[in-house]
Structure 1
Amino acid sequence: MSLLSKVWRKAGRSWRLLLRDRSGLAATEFAFIVPLMLVTFFATVELSAGIAVDRKVTLVARTLSDLTSQATTVTDSDLKNVFAASYGVLSPYPIDPVNAMITEIYVNDAGVAKVQWSKSATVAQNGTTITTTLINSTRNRGDTITIPDGLKVTKTYMILSEVSYQYKPVVGYVVAPGGISLSDLSYTRPRQSICVLYDTSSCPTF
């Protein structure tokens, strides 16, 4: 048998042994699958957290309008407490990215909705303590506001709460690194009186 034949035969046996060898197959499959599994896992976690925060934003909006509509008169101190209580709904998620606004609306004889008063608040959290500071909102008294046609009942008042939240995912490369804007609003009729008075002694109709 020639040297060349021996070399080819030996090479053939080596290739057959290599093809039958499965000792590193699991490690190779693991190396391919792990990145996909990790991406899927973190994406699922972030999606679940995002859905939870979105639900809490809705609850904050409903809480703001509901608490305000239960009063007959509100002061700055009352509104601070309302904002603080509503922001507490976001726990355990941070409240710093939240922006909220409470507005009372009057629908006049022509079915046009007008802003009667409106307030926003900034918030700071130190441990479990939430501190709110009232600020002027972007809506001014007398501004016309668009509301759903089904709510345009003439000579009636409504409390509108608007909440926005910038959700920032923990794993930025799975979800948008800049964050996701979440928002919701809620309309509530005054419960105890025709309107909720703020800085006035009679129901305004601007």
Structure 2
Amino acid sequence: MSPAARMLARLRRDRAGIAATEFALILPVMVLMLVGMAEVFGLVQAYGKALSAAQVVSDLTSRADSQSTASMNGIVTGAQRVLDPLPSGADRLGIRVASVGISSAGQPVQLWTYSWGGAAPAVAIGDAAGLAPNGQSVIMVTLRYTHPPLLQAILGSLSLNHSVVSRPRLVRLIPFNGSTGTLP
């Protein structure tokens, strides 16, 4: 047997360092899986909190017999607390609230609107058709939350959009800053 063949046979029998080699090959995959699970958890958490924040804004707005800019700003603060510990400044969160009345002909009419923060999606007024009797209104809320993932440099920011509708509880039309708007 030649010296080269003896050396190859000896290397085949030598098992020292195999565990370290296997670990070095598997470690990047394990780290990638761990970071991926953290990203998925963060996204699921942000999705749930953003939906809850939209529901809170809609619910608190529809519970009052009147709203003002100051009261709506307080409701936005409540939505921000729902999002804690996620960042919820005006650069990450956009909220749009609209009171939509149903005319005597059954057509949705925007009575008033309130916006806060970043660009929230427009309220789809037409979606209110059939949600309330003629002469009454609904509160429609759209919310956009821009989620900053851990790997933001790679993934970029993710925008989560939610829409929620509530019926006023105490009055048929909720006035905003003293005016209910005009319902034909």
Question: After TM superposition, is the score higher than 0.5?
Answer: yes
- Which of 135, 144, 164 is the matching residue for 1:155? 135
Q: Distance in 2 between matches of 1:40 and 1:148?
A: 44
Aligned CA distance change for structure 1 residues 93 and 144 (closer, same or farther; 3 Å): closer
| SS state at 2:95 partner | strand
Q: Distance in 2 between matches of 1:145 and 1:47?
A: 33
Q: Distance in 2 between matches of 1:52 and 1:43?
A: 14
Using the TM superposition, give the Cα deviation of residue 122 of structure 1 relative to its aligned residue in structure 2, in angstroms: 3.0
Residue identity opposite 2:165 in structure 1: Y
1:16 is aligned to 2:9: yes
- What does residue 198 of structure 1 align with? 176
- What does residue 65 of structure 2 align with? 72
Q: TM-score, normalised by structure 2?
A: 0.88
- What does residue 88 of structure 1 align with? 81
Using the TM superposition, give the Cα deviation of residue 24 of structure 1 relative to its aligned residue in structure 2, in angstroms: 1.7
Q: Distance in 1 between matches of 2:132 and 2:27?
A: 56
Identity %: 25
Residue identity opposite 1:12 in structure 2: A
- Quick check: 1:165–1:181 contact (8 Å CA) kept in 2? yes
Q: Which runs of 4+ in 1 moved over 4 A?
A: none
Matched positions, count: 181
| Deviates most, 192-201 or 16-25 | 192-201
> Of the two, which has the highest radius of gyration?
1
TM-superposition CA deviations, 1:65-111 (whole Å, max 9, x none): 10011111111211111111111100000002010111100112333
In proportion to residue count, which structure has more helix?
2
- What does residue 117 of structure 2 align with? 122
Using the TM superposition, give the Cα deviation of residue 185 of structure 1 relative to its aligned residue in structure 2, in angstroms: 1.2
Q: Distance in 2 between matches of 1:201 and 1:116?
A: 9
- Unaligned stretches of 5+ residues in structure 1: 1-7, 124-136
| Deviates most, 82-91 or 109-118 | 109-118
1:54 is aligned to 2:47: yes
